[in-house]
Amino acid sequence: MIPYARQSIDDADVEAVVRVLRSDFLTQGPVVPRFEACVADYCGARHGVAVSNATAALHLSAAALSLGPGGLLWTSPVSFVASANCALYCGADVDFVDIDERTYNLDIGALREKLREADARGRLPDVIVMVDFAGQPCDYAALAGLKKQYGFHVIQDASHAIGASHAGTRIGSGTCADVTVFSFHPVKIITTAEGGMAVTNDDALAETLRLLRSHGVTRDPQLMTRGREPWEYEQIALGFNYRLTEIQAALGLEQMRRIDAFVERRRALAARYDAAFEATPVQTPYEAPYARSSYHLYAVQVDARKDVYVSLRERGIAPNVHYMPIYRQPFYEALGFREGYCPRAEAYYARALSLPMFPELTDSQQDAVIAAVLNATEIRA
């Protein structure tokens, strides 16, 4: 089976992991801070806070921005459930803003309208989670005016988008959001098996993220209220154990050496798909003028999606679908959300198909995928 996504692991990755296994520290050693500095430098951010996965990074970011009971978080329905769940972890409410029908990212026009109505009703969102779907950055220039006007915080869920750029600036540099979150799950751009990171230019926010990552416990004399003895630590907030291990950080550091090559290969594959599907019934993804996508996903729109999906599976190709609108999940429907809430997200989902997209996909494998897709779509045409 050709999968829709897959990690790329080489001998240097294996050796880096083995080196840590033979070292003094398996967790809370010197490699995690080196990985944090490497990712932060790459993005042009002041701070990187490595955590156990991007879901944890979203949770801590929302908590560090003071989201709590009575609070409200908005996000895009076309995302992984974690983009919304972080609100509920904090005891806050969640709501959804429909997508732009070309980029499939949260639509700034719809956001403007919803903010106006929310303002009139007297309940504005505290946090908006912007999701850079498939690796394409959202329209952050248009968002900036609304952020200023209404004063909400922005968490950038860039789980798909490390290595992407917005208006010529790398994602994570702090021009788009208060905090940017990356995922290092094996299907994403680089991997640490499980893993994630929050990057920010805000010193106080970074300190809170670090504190909450490790139980709310500190040994920093500046933060301690009573500790005087050399062995003492203090818990000063209710945190979690969301730490990344040294083993994972070593893998991440090695992967960072190849990140630009990974993104270049993904973009080359996207260009080949674009060319192959031109003037066919397969609707290819649109890249906005301000965006340089990292192409975590290559998400097309096709009619009779199920037939195409089944036909590809029969030919040894495993496509995927990203995403059912989050509010259509049974858990969210039980909170009161109903079909029809975000019509553009639902129309997108009805025809969505993610084709194989990963650095080690060969040209000849991709040609087989293209032939299979064209065959499946043309049978019906």
Residues that bind ligand PLP (CB under 6 A): 53-55, 79-80, 82-83, 131, 157, 159-160, 183, 185, 196
Nearest to 201 by CA among 21, 345, 17, 44: 44
CB of 380 to ligand PLP, least distance (A): 30
Distance, in Å, from the CA atom of 327 to the CA atom of 74, rounded to the nearest integer, reads 12
> Among the residues of the chain, which ranges form H helices?
11-21, 31-43, 54-64, 82-89, 108-121, 140-150, 203-213, 246-256, 259-277, 305-314, 330-333, 343-350, 363-380
Q: Which amino acid is at 297?
A: L
Shortest distance, position 107 Cβ to ligand PLP, whole Å: 17
How many angstroms separate the CA atoms of 1 and 265, rounded?
Answer: 21
In the bound state with ligand PLP, the residue whose beta carbon lies nearer, of 227 and 359, is 359
- Could you tell me the smallest distance in angstroms from the CB atom of residue 156 to ligand PLP? 11
Residue closer to ligand PLP (CB basis): 83 or 103: 83
* Nearer residue to ligand PLP within complex by CB, 326 or 376: 326
Measure the CA–CA gap between 265 and 365, rounded to whole angstroms.
Answer: 14
Q: Shortest distance, CB of residue 196 to ligand PLP, whole angstroms? A: 5
- Min dist CB 157 to ligand PLP, Å, is 5
Q: Are 182 and 39 in contact (CB under 8 A)?
A: yes
Considering beta carbons, is residue 106 or 108 the nearer one to ligand PLP?
106
Q: How far is the CB of 266 from ligand PLP (least distance, A)?
A: 15
For 90, the token pair is 């904090």
Q: Closer CB to ligand PLP, residue 53 or residue 354? A: 53
Give whichever of 2 and 189 is closer to ligand PLP, judged by the CB atom. 189
Among candidates 63, 64, 103, 59, which has minimal Cα distance to 82? 59
Closest CA to 55 of 163, 184, 152: 184
